[in-house]
Amino acid sequence: MTETTVQPKRIGLLIWMILTQLLAAVSLVPWSVATIMSLAAGGGSDGIPMWMIAVWSYPIFLIVIIVGAWVSYNKRKNALAAILSALLLVPLVMLVLAISFM
């Protein structure tokens, strides 16, 4: 006797993950502009300021979160995968808010 378990469809989560990751990839365009601007602004010899390190490490943040989300998705930890994917939108929302309040 074989017992088969019905797996729930996770198409909504899959669409959510792909959508948030595409938005995160699009956010790399303004990131590249900010990186060029930070290189122009950081002409001092006092070392690298913390805000420059934060700007430059943004792609590393994206990669770590995306890998964690897909590993969670693969291990069927749907809630964690959704939360990690939502974390990708936090820097993008902060950028939009910063631009809108300038």
Q: Express each pLDDT in 9-65 by its tens digit.
A: 789 999 999 999 999 999 898 888 878 877 777 666 666 777 777 778 889 999 999
In single-letter form, the type of residue at position 52 comes to: M
The b/e string for 84-93 (b: 16+ C-beta within 10 A; e otherwise) is: bbebbeebee
For residue 70, which of 19, 9, 14 has the smallest C-alpha distance?
14
- Measured CA to CA, the distance from residue 32 to residue 63 in angstroms comes to 16
**DSSP one-letter code for 5:** P
pLDDT at 2: 63
Residue labelled with tokens 């700007």: 55
- pLDDT tens per residue across span 51-86: 777 778 889 999 999 999 999 999 999 999 999 999
pLDDT at 51: 74
